[in-house]
Amino acid sequence: MRAPSAPLALTVGDPSGIGPEIAVAAWRLRSEAGVPAFYLLADPALIAARAATVGLDVRIAECSPSDAGDAFADALPIVALAAALSDMPGYPNSENAAGIIEAIDHAVADTFAGRAAAVVTCPIAKKPLYDAGFRFPGHTEYLAHLAKEKTGVDAMPVMMLAGPDLRAVPVTIHIALSEVPKALTTEAIVKTSRITANDLRSRFGIEKPRIAISGLNPHAGEGGTMGLEDESIVRPAVEALKAEGIDAFGPLPADTMFHARARAGYDAAVCMYHDQALIPAKALAFDETVNVTLGLPFIRTSPDHGTAFDIVGKGIARPDSLIAALKLARRLADVEARQP
């Protein structure tokens, strides 16, 4: 059982990316930005070296998760990894794979054990992990694997981009646009929307979530004149969700569902493909939008950006999205803790 007062577990991500420096920057803004208590799973020597590289003054407290909350006000709490990490800013290295994965494993284990209230992850890059033999498509699939190892239950992770003005969920994610019509099914839309509605209730504290379902084609197919998928795939999903008691409506033309007046009518938008969801979410609030993984038995958030290898070590990486991810994780954990 997760302790409501437990700190957040923050993984370092790929240490060749901006994770180390935005973690330090977030801690330095703890009072000014209201950053909740967290501990960083990392190599303390690497964090100290990277902070010095970008000119950030930081005091480090190497500690256990149970001591992190008390240490946070005066020092950046770091739970040291067994695997050393090579400090090669901007140059991903497969030798760091063991430490990257160890940080994720440790954060999830801490959350299940109640030592952490939620998991927050800095960005990783897939190639160095693949080069080291990592067999999962990405971060999220690995988290689902860890969840099943612990609970014995298959988890269907769902990506949500959550910002101050929009929560957007794609049904299909990292596939070519040409593959979307073949991959899109009524069942996938129903499952994605059901998980979205459940997490909006249990973690966002929205008693009766309103789910807007986008169409696939321009003008939501315009009665079949611009494609048949909206009538044959999307609309049956909306009807099935309504039959379950979920307040879902659509399919809606995607070009008119993201302006301010439209957004006031729903709590989350379920979209048919990656860019249909992520473009409006990031356009509205790039620095404040958070990637939230729904459908897991623990809370996981992350910044909505990648490793940014091109700007590592230059002192220009902004911690805004990480700070938003930390604050949202704390808020979701607090809401979940109040559930009966």
pLDDT in tens, 8-52: 999 999 999 999 999 999 999 999 999 999 999 999 999 999 999
Question: For residues 336 and 301, is the Cβ–Cβ distance under 8 A?
Answer: no
- CATH number of the domain to which 30 belongs: 3.40.718.10
Residues 172 and 248 placed together within one structural domain of the fold: yes
pLDDT of residue 3: 56
Residues 119 and 215 placed together within one structural domain of the fold: no
* Rounded CA separation 110/167 (Å): 28
Residues 122 and 215 placed together within one structural domain of the fold: no
pLDDT of residue 221: 85
pLDDT of residue 1: 45
73 assigned to some structural domain: yes
Residues 120 and 174 placed together within one structural domain of the fold: no
pLDDT of residue 138: 84
- Give the chain's domain count: 2
Q: Which residue has the tokens 């249909």?
A: 276
Per-residue confidence band for 174, with pLDDT thresholds at 50, 70 and 90: confident
More confident residue, 340 or 280: 280
1 assigned to some structural domain: no
290 assigned to some structural domain: no
Residues 306 and 208 placed together within one structural domain of the fold: no
More confident residue, 86 or 254: 254
Per-residue confidence band for 4, with pLDDT thresholds at 50, 70 and 90: low
Residues 94 and 190 placed together within one structural domain of the fold: no
More confident residue, 258 or 226: 258
188 assigned to some structural domain: yes
pLDDT of residue 223: 86
The model carries a pTM of 0.93
61 assigned to some structural domain: yes
Q: Which one, of 145, 111, 91, lies nearest residue 333 by Cα?
A: 111
Residues 149 and 162 placed together within one structural domain of the fold: no
Structural domain of residue 234, as residue ranges?
158-281
Across residues 52-73, what is the average pLDDT?
94
Across residues 121-139, what is the average pLDDT?
92
- Last residue of some domain: 236, 258, 281? 281
**Residue 269 host element (H or E):** strand 268-271
Residues 209 and 146 placed together within one structural domain of the fold: no
Q: Which residue has the tokens 């604050």?
A: 327
141 assigned to some structural domain: yes
3 assigned to some structural domain: no
Residues 169 and 105 placed together within one structural domain of the fold: no
* Rounded CA separation 112/110 (Å): 6
Q: What percent of the chain has pLDDT over 90?
A: 89
Q: How far is CA 228 from CA 170, 216, 221, in A?
A: 20, 9, 7
Residues 110 and 185 placed together within one structural domain of the fold: no
Beta bridge partners of 249: 212
In tens, the pLDDT along 210-243 reads 999 999 999 998 888 888 999 999 999 999 999 9
Residues 128 and 216 placed together within one structural domain of the fold: no
Cβ neighbours, 10 Å, residue 8: 27
Q: Is the pLDDT of residue 320 over 80?
A: yes
193 assigned to some structural domain: yes
Question: For residues 194 and 159, is the Cβ–Cβ distance under 8 A?
Answer: no
In tens, the pLDDT along 287-308 reads 899 999 999 999 999 998 999 9
pLDDT of residue 323: 97
Residues 12 and 147 placed together within one structural domain of the fold: yes
